[in-house]
Structure 1
């Protein structure tokens, strides 16, 4: 089986090489999958894509014409691939659902701590020998109310960590895990009630039609003015322009995010010489109460190992005419 890996990052290759162990013929390319680069998959049986790749219906139809039979995602989320079209075309698709919830959750907490304790401002001051504390006052996390929106694998780890800080945890999810609530004394609330009560809001939901722009101006009006919002879900879970306006007018205190709704062709690349023409991103970066990281939450050795191993687990299952546990197109393909 010949495999083309799109959107390859240099730091991924050693992990992928180790997981492959010279079993399959692999070609690595840095290009994103788009309608223009789909032709590069000609002659390959399988491709691997990442979260920024475009596997829309149009692209999938091109891949089908080029002979691609299998797609394995090096990500848990799969909002970038049109699963229904893949099913109709008979292209089997699998993802990497459990590569490391700890990596993502820990990064969410890192964003919160860095914002709250003004670590970026502090470091900038110290490099100029300014040791004043006037701009560096934060707050104790102990006894604060943390609202976790989305209590899947990542949301559960976030709740566990924040419970360890002595926070009160409230949550919102379409699927309530009652066993989990008892273990950590968590209360499930409506989305509006969670927004009203939370000192800190953590977003860890998948992006779909229900969660697109879940956090908008109307919900922001319900929140406390000193609320901190941390987004390690997907960029379009929040209405970014309305978040920016709320920050400008001190309607919310701070925003930390590892994702951005227009991150395609920006995040994962060095754009220092060719800065993106994105006024909204520029506004976010320039705000003093915002911390943006370039979708790096998954970038730990453990997570990269799991991603690589799951990638080749999926491929090996298909090679052996078996169904991987992570297959997303199982219903119509069997």
Structure 2
């Protein structure tokens, strides 16, 4: 019996070991690569399944190289890193992991909110320098404040539940409205402009696509309530970079917690910037990131909101089930 060949890219050793234990080696032949996907890898010509992460761009060139490819299994909810239309044209199925980190990302969201509202990051740095003065460290209560949740899906709902535990008021913006949920969780759907102008904290939890691209931008950034905290654990493309830097610089945002940011995929290349030619826009993105890091009211984390032990296991389990179900003609999380 011919084995099904599966290649995993951007896969750490621990995740490799976990997947190795799950797959039946009599049916599947597995290949693991720590590095990002690249068109020069010869294994592409042989594989039936390609499993990738968010920094692996599956474009027309990759798809054309993978002549035997039947399934692309992304280990993420988002799939904007995959040329969906071209895959469909080539009769290649695409699947994702729609549910894995609802509570995980919501918890990280509040970690950022609490760090900013109580100046924990500043206090930690001072304590490392044996400075214990309270000057400049006074924070504010979350109780009674209004949080605006942009994207009231599974993650957004968990954020709302946590917010209610803190005694916060909740506003939500979403193109789909669930009024039963609105009544049960005691929040209110509002237009985006109303949310921006009324929220003490603005947090993003919607997918990135053509409709949500730069949904917060230079045209509406002035509608934000002065001094609001801005939290982004979703995708950097949801806010126009110029608007983000402007709002922080002018004090429109009183602080920002960013788990995603412009040019985050370049961080692995940062140490090589002086030794190889890179597009000027990449250098500019990293310079802007470094400017943000110098600000006391900005916290940047390295796209880690999803990264808990439990969430990673859920991602790997769903990926395994997607792949095996595809070849067993069972239901799986199909995108196309």
TM-score by length of structure 1 reads 0.91
In 1, Cα distance between equivalents of 2:174 and 2:40: 37
1:327 aligned to which of 313, 324, 334 = 334
Deviation larger for 95-104 or 4-13? 4-13
1:31 aligned to which of 18, 27, 35 = 35
Please give the residue correspondences for 1:1-334 in structure 2 after superposition, counting only pairs within 5 Å.
1-20=4-23, 22=25, 24-34=28-38, 36-37=39-40, 39-63=42-66, 66-266=67-267, 269=268, 277=283, 278-324=286-332, 326-329=333-336
Deviation larger for 255-264 or 270-279? 270-279
1:62-109 alpha-carbon deviations (Å, 9 max, x no partner):
33xx32111111001111112222111101110001012111111111
| RMSD between superposed Cα atoms in Å | 1.9
In 2, Cα distance between equivalents of 1:21 and 1:109: 40
1:185-223 alpha-carbon deviations (Å, 9 max, x no partner):
111000001101000011001000111111112222011
CA positional deviation for 1:321? 2.9
What 5-or-longer segments of structure 2 have no aligned partner? 275-281
* Partner SS state of residue 48, structure 1: strand
Compared CA separation, residues 177 and 15, structure 1 to 2 (3 A): farther
Compared CA separation, residues 181 and 81, structure 1 to 2 (3 A): same
CA positional deviation for 1:21? 5.9
Deviation larger for 53-62 or 198-207? 53-62
1:132-182 alpha-carbon deviations (Å, 9 max, x no partner):
111211110001000000011101101111111100000000001111101
In 2, Cα distance between equivalents of 1:290 and 1:104: 19
In 2, Cα distance between equivalents of 1:257 and 1:10: 27
What 5-or-longer segments of structure 1 have no aligned partner? 330-334
Compared CA separation, residues 210 and 303, structure 1 to 2 (3 A): same
Whether the 8 Å contact between 1:220 and 1:252 is mirrored in structure 2 is no
TM-score by length of structure 2 reads 0.91
* Partner SS state of residue 171, structure 2: strand
CA positional deviation for 1:59? 2.9
1:243-295 alpha-carbon deviations (Å, 9 max, x no partner):
112211212111111112322242xx495686983212112222221111111
Aligned match of 1:332: none
1:303-322 alpha-carbon deviations (Å, 9 max, x no partner):
11111111110111122133
More relative contact order in 1 or in 2 (CA 8 Å, sep 6+)?
A: 1
In 2, Cα distance between equivalents of 1:270 and 1:55: 19
Whether the 8 Å contact between 1:68 and 1:91 is mirrored in structure 2 is yes
